[in-house]
Structure 1
Amino acid sequence: MDGVGGAAGAVNGRAWSFLVTSDERQFQGNAGYEDVVEESYSYDSTVGNHRRVGLGDLVVVRNGREALGVGYVGALEVVPNKEKIRSRCPRCGSTGFKERTTEEPRYRCSPCGNVFNQPRAETIQVTAYRAHYGRSWQPLEGCLDKAQLADLSLSRSDQQSIKAMDRVRTLAAVAAFGVRLPPQGHVAETTHRLPLQLPGGRRRTTAAVRRGQDAFRRALVHQYGMICAVTGPAPAEVLEAAHLRPFATTEQHRIEEGLLLRADIHSLLDSGLLTISRELRVRVAPTLLGYGAYSALEGMPLHIPADAPLNRSVVEEHYATTTATW
């Protein structure tokens, strides 16, 4: 796209939630947008608030259930006079219809109740936009659910794909879940050539998709945020769901028997080189005391809230079993 701007010097701004392409975004007769969840968000001048999004704004990307990630707008592309096909109900002319996946005819118009297989198409001129936030993107993976997002929103409407958020409260909520955004001065994208075409809806790695499909890990993320219980806030890419009782033995995923741990800490726990005391403090095997990064963890309290649902008897069991080998 043309008209690319950078966010250099933009340290303040508004906050928005962006609804990504999904069943929830089938309105106004759109054929869809080329959303790339971890990189950019596409919209046009038929979308509410399209003029208000600006460089340096905070954005929370969401689907219909939860927040997927957060970042700052580092570049904003604008293309005027672009043709777009918009579909309407053949009876009342409304764009407020949805596709039905299990019934025929294929479409049903919400305003007039008409059902039909072929909408009436029209070509309109729009201004196209693409907001880039990939350089500051931090996964949230459900830390904030639909109700929590609604509480942070400045709009009560469920129909807007771009909704105004309370910036201060949103930043505080994200930080409370251990998510650390880079300084805004480092997210400008003017020095990077932005691609003219981006593959819609793809993630950076298949590993990110696998993480998101892990129900046990998702439950722990929602409970504790992006915080390693031993070392503190950490990138989502290195956080793993750890069982204090081996899953191979119990074959059960229990939140009260799990912790979110950095990948290396998880390996040490599973290898019997690190455990948690009855007082919820870190204990490190004597064989690791020559490694400064790990010996420094000895005696440190866990980074979990006082009311965490951790099963203390399971913690004591793991401690006794592990330290017996030291």
Structure 2
Amino acid sequence: MTSAWLLLAVGDARQHGGNDGYEDNPREYYRWDSTVPNHARLAVGDVVALWDKRELIGVSAIDTIETGTEDKTRYFCPHCRKADFKRRVRMTPACRCNQCEATFDTPGQRVEPVTTYLARYGRRWVDGRGLLGGPQLRALCDSPGSQLSMRTTSWEKLLDALLATGRLNADAVSGLANQRHRRTPIVGGHRFAKVRTRVGQAAFRAALLDEQGEQCAISGPAPAEVLEAAHLYSYAETGEHHDFGGLLLRRDLHTLFDKGRIAVDPETGLLDTDPGLNAYPVYAELHGKPLVFDVRPEHRLWLAAHWNTHRADA
């Protein structure tokens, strides 16, 4: 399983009472030291998502991690000697301790040796501005309420959220998880195999594109490359392409629809999502929304059959 991290990158603002912050270039490298929680857990090949508290900056995979040592000035509360205090800009005294609640103008300080880290990942950088907001990213963390600058998250959840935007090259993003150095090579080559193909599938999809345009019936406008012709019934059982028996769906939503994790309530015409999708904001927010495509009565008959298959006993 690929490890993934949400890394806070806000320049000098990435500091707390105990240190002076870090110099970052979010598109190229990220710095931290041994005073930071989780400092020794990142590894070459891990996926990193950089954010600035408001939105995603971008994602990549770590190519190298450089380590060193230096003497670092650490600051602390002069009353309880804890490093957990906040510097206040518009109030006096200038500092307030989060531990003992004492206020003071001048913190204590000491110099101590630390291990430094510099992760480089610019080679595979994928820009993420405008894709995911701060609340979405926090929800993807293993501990959504965490305040740490380096937080663990699920690569699978992050990938689903990125692909669900429909605005990224799926191969470029999903390929980030395959950059970890392997000890055993993967055998390549080709082999012959007998497969069953869907006759007429290309024509069926072309007809849907002509009828419905470049839009996913669930999420809205999307490039044709990510849209699939979704049968509203089990094609495997009938082997037929029925008129008005399909809708264009984005690939990820097509998979969830086929598995019954997304369905359309025939009485209300609104989307119904499996409660198991509530952990994924991009899918949870679909619940209770109408389809963006104005379906015909014939579509509704197939959607009702799909509902009865996956929701009748729920």
1:155 equivalent in alignment to 2:143: yes
Structure 1 CA distance, aligned partners of 2:43 and 2:114?
A: 18
Rg larger in 1 or in 2?
2
Percent identity over the alignment is 34
Deviations 1:193-250 (A, max 9, x none): xxxxxxxxxxxxxxxxxxxxxxxxxxxxxxxxxx9966778xxxxxxxxxxxxxxxxx
2:27 to 26, 38, 51: 38
The reply to whether residue 145 of structure 1 matches residue 124 of structure 2 is: no
5+ residue gaps, structure 2, are 181-219, 227-289, 294-314
Pair 1:131 & 2:119 matched: yes
Give the 3 Å change call, closer, same or farther, for CA 20–65 of structure 1 in structure 2: same
Q: Distance in 1 between matches of 2:52 and 2:94?
A: 24
Q: CA deviation at 1:23?
A: 7.4
CA separation in 1, counterparts of 2:27 and 2:34?
22
For 2:223 and 2:48, locate their aligned partners in 1 and report how far apart those are by CA, in whole Å.
29
Q: Output aligned runs, 1:1-326, within 5 Å.
A: 13-21=2-10, 25-27=14-16, 29-79=18-68, 81-177=69-165, 178-180=167-169, 181=172, 183-184=175-176, 307=292
Aligned CA-pair RMSD = 3.0
Size of the alignment, in residue pairs? 188
Task: Supply the distance in 2 between the matched residues of 1:64 and 1:185 (Cα, whole angstroms).
Answer: 24
- Which residue number in structure 2 is paired with residue 275 of structure 1? none
How big is each residue's C-alpha offset from its partner over 1:56-87, in whole Å with a ceiling of 9 and x where there is no partner? 111111122222111111111111x3211110
- Judged with a 3 Å threshold, the aligned counterparts in structure 2 of structure 1 residues 96 and 175 are, in CA distance, closer, same or farther, namely same
Partner Cα distance (1:40, 1:307) in 2: 41
CA contact (8 A) 2:13 2:21 kept: no
The alpha carbon displacement at 1:179 in A equals: 2.3
Q: Distance in 2 between matches of 1:230 and 1:105?
A: 56
Structure 1 residues 91 and 70 mapped into 2: Cα distance closer, same or farther (>3 Å)? same
- Flag as ranges the 4+ runs of structure 1 deviating above 6 A: 185-188
Distance apart, 1:184 and its partner CA? 4.3
Q: In the TM superposition, what whole-angstrom CA distance separates every residue of 1:101-128 from its partner, at most 9, and x where no partner exists?
A: 2122222212222222211111111110
The TM-score, its normalising length taken from structure 1, stands at: 0.52
* Inter-partner Cα distance in structure 1 for 2:55 and 2:11: 13
Contact in 1 for aligned 2:47/2:176 (Cα 8 Å): no
Deviations 1:274-307 (A, max 9, x none): xxxxxxxxxxxxxxxxxxxxxxxxxxxxxxx964
Once residues 125 and 27 of structure 1 are traced to their aligned partners in structure 2, the CA distance between those partners, rounded to angstroms, is 18
Gaps of 5+ in 1: 1-11, 189-226, 234-304, 309-326
Partners of 2:138 and 2:124 lie apart in 1 by 23
DSSP 3-state at the match of 2:138: helix
C-alpha distance in structure 2 between counterparts of 1:185 and 1:23, whole Å: 30
Question: Contact 2:15–2:22 (CA<8 Å) still a contact in 1?
Answer: no
SS in 2 for 1:165: strand
Q: Normalization by structure 2: what TM-score?
A: 0.53
